Chain A
Amino acid sequence: MSQNCARTSRADGIIDKSLLRSLFRSMLRIRVTEESIAMLLGQGEIRCPTHLYTGQEAIAVGICAALDSQDYIFGGHRSHGHYLAKGGDLRALVAELYGKATGCARGRGGSMHLVAPEVGLLGTVPLVAATIPIGVGAALASKLRGERRVSVPFFGDGATEEGHFHESLNLAANFRLPVVFVCENNLYSSHMHINERRAEDNIHKSGEAHGLPGVCLDGNDVVAVYRAGIEAIDRARRDGGPTLLECRTYRWRGHVGPAFDTDVGVKRKNEMGYWIPRDPVARARTRLVEMGLAQSEIDHIEQEIIAEVQEAIQFARESLSPSADDLEKHVFINPQTGR
């Protein structure tokens, strides 16, 4: 855990075993999916630019568990975890990576453009920070309609260096919009460490500067993320305005693809030594065992997930590619059909 967090939200209290089991299962499902995709990328079977979420699972899972199904989320280039945690269909995710017509974006998006409107994921796009103001807009829609839907844009530490971020925080605070900004500070923007990019490692302080609470927390502790999420989401839902959550975490794999980017330097190797023992999935597993969950049940969960992921890969392999006849479709929505 970084010493840079001025205010730390910790969660050492009691948590319901069935909730933790569910959070663990959701994280493990993302982990197994990502590591299976890493293998397929290595084999050249999946070819689109793919940014893996391994190591950051607690953030998507903790926040999405605190959201209602009708709440909105948005993501960026590293969003498989957000898609799955919010309830997006696993088979449609893998098929999208394969560029198949059965993919969640019908093979038009690839890994960086995911969508699952049926569960409130209106889109993930790779223009860094682009979905921060878009997330604010979904919150504005909710507020104008008098709904209690909350909107969550997920973004990385690199995105906080864009103007989008600062304009959006000000706009959301000024109009007291129901949005929770979730920054996943994995210490790297592409190949560059945060200390090379900022005079100070203090993202959460942007909250205070813009008139909203900024909280720094252990993003590798799913219970801490869940609790911070509940608090911020509840405040947003009660018209209490936005919150910025800076979740400290670490990207295990490289920026893009299956490699570990150790060529970035010795420092990263040292960092891996620090962060791998802080694996969010392993921490939740240990806690569950302490709470009395049988190892056999954990094994069973793992086997179920592996089977589901294998089935999704098989589905993607067997799916048809999109037809060239469809290339020019959907440039515009048909006003008559709404599609």
Chain B
Amino acid sequence: MRTLTYAQAIREAFAQLLKTDPRVFVIGQGVRSPWYAGTSLKDLDKDFGRDRIIDSPVSENATTGAAVGAALAGMRPIVFHSRMDFMLLAVDPIVNQAANWSHIFAGQVGVPIVIRAVINRGGEQGAQHSQALQAMFAHIPGVKVIMPATPYDAKGLLIAAVKDGNPVMYIDDRWLYEERGEVPEAMYEVPIGVAAIRRRGADVSIVATSFMVVEALKAASILTHRQIDAEVIDLRSISPWDHETVFNSVRKTGCLIVVDAAWKTCGVAAEISAGVAEGAFAALKAPVARVCLPDVPAPSSASLERAYYIGAEDIAASAEQVFLQKREKEFLVTSLLNEGNAEGKGRSIESSPRKSMTGAAGL
């Protein structure tokens, strides 16, 4: 099948939506500029005209509010925020307005708006050009939050978001833009609210969001060298999130590592962990681990960035530790069950074969 980069896949979804639905238009700061959108919106203004590809003044509040109004009046706007940080100036139209109107007015009016927010981490950009704020918006009833991690999903979830007919926040991480993958030429939808199992495994469940799926798959590869077979779940949709796929994986592996390249406190990883504690607690054989950014604003200097951002090695280390804790508990349970047999009594946890093999104690 044909392959596209993630950025090309987004661009194709925009073009197909604009071509097939006259209600669709794009508004936001920088929609004509590669500085802001990379190649993900390249030349859309040339193909569809500047009436429908509206590069706006630096007025996040009014452009987002206007998109809400246009949606109420029957259009299907896609608002573009080139940095999630900038979108904070539009919290009123998103949280108070778009998310509320359907419920307030008992479904008599709706806000079919897609809010595309870009995470632009790293590159010494510092604290106000890099934030990943998915948890803030996932907290709000009435807005769906999706984070595609593959070119296939980048296209299919954008199309699904526009067709959904509700406020949907579509969050893409620029670190994914050069990822390449198979993308059908036809229009298709990836359902919102359904996770994808990217790698099947028996030992640990790693649930990841957005670019962290790429890193989690690298971590799974590292873990194979340590004889740990990781399952990697791409959450894809933050709100609503796919409880069943996560629970089923945890029921199989008995442990969970959640990876989200955002702050830990009250974050997406906290929500997934709590959901598993409520819905699949009995299956857990080890404490849940969260691999997140430290609760610190993003620094600028590259040396500090290296300390700040997380990647495959962090995920692998965390997964290994969780796996060892699980093994320890399994041995403990086995030995307790064998207590009746005098020979098996007092079998030490230090006898875990995995531990001696990897040498990573951390217990």
Residues of A within 8 A of B (CB): 72, 74, 105-106, 108-109, 113, 115, 117, 122-123, 125, 127, 130-142, 144-145, 151, 163-164, 167-168, 170-171, 174-175, 329-335, 338-339
Contacts and interface: CB of A to CB of B under 8 A. Distances in A.
B66 A133 contact: yes
Interface of B: 25, 51-52, 54, 56-57, 59, 61-75, 77, 92-93, 96-97, 100-110, 112, 141-142, 144, 163-166
A225 B96 CA distance: 31
B71 to A, nearest CB: 7
Contacts of B92: 127, 130, 164
B105 A134 contact: no
B57 A174 contact: yes
Nearest to B71: A137
A171 B101 CA distance: 23
Given A168-B66, A170-B62, 15 more contacts: A108-B106, A115-B105, A123-B109, A125-B97, A127-B92, A132-B65, A140-B70, A144-B25, A167-B57, A168-B65, A170-B59, A329-B107, A331-B141, A333-B102, A335-B165
Nearest to B97: A130
21 contacts: A105-B105, A105-B108, A106-B106, A109-B105, A122-B73, A133-B68, A134-B65, A137-B66, A137-B72, A138-B72, A140-B66, A144-B52, A144-B70, A164-B62, A164-B92, A168-B66, A174-B57, A330-B103, A330-B105, A331-B141, A333-B166
B166 A113 contact: no
Which residue, of A132, A134, A140, A174, has the highest number of chain B Cβ atoms within 10 A?
A: A134
Contacts of A105: 104-106, 108
Contact of A163 (B61, B68, B96, B165): B61
B354 to A, nearest CB: 46
Contacts of B74: 141
A248 to B, nearest CB: 26
A333 B59 contact: no
Contacts of A109: 104-105
A122 B66 CA distance: 13
Contact of B62 (A133, A138, A329, A335): A133
B138 to A, nearest CB: 14
Contacts of B59: 167, 170-171
The 9 closest A-B pairs by CB, nearest first: A137-B69, A133-B65, A167-B62, A137-B66, A134-B69, A141-B73, A106-B106, A333-B110, A167-B59
A338 B110 contact: yes
Nearest to A118: B108
B51 A144 contact: yes
Given A122-B72, A137-B68, A332 B109 contact: no
Nearest to B54: A175
A170 B66 CA distance: 12
Contacts of A167: 57, 59, 61-62
Contact of B66 (A108, A127, A134, A145): A134
Given A113-B104, A125-B97, A134-B97, A141 B70 contact: yes
A117 B108 contact: yes
A113 B103 CA distance: 11
Nearest to A139: B69
Contact of B65 (A72, A130, A332): A130
B48 to A, nearest CB: 12
Contacts of A175: 54
A134 B68 contact: yes
Nearest to B65: A133
A136 B57 contact: no
A228 to B, nearest CB: 23
B18 to A, nearest CB: 12
Nearest to B95: A127
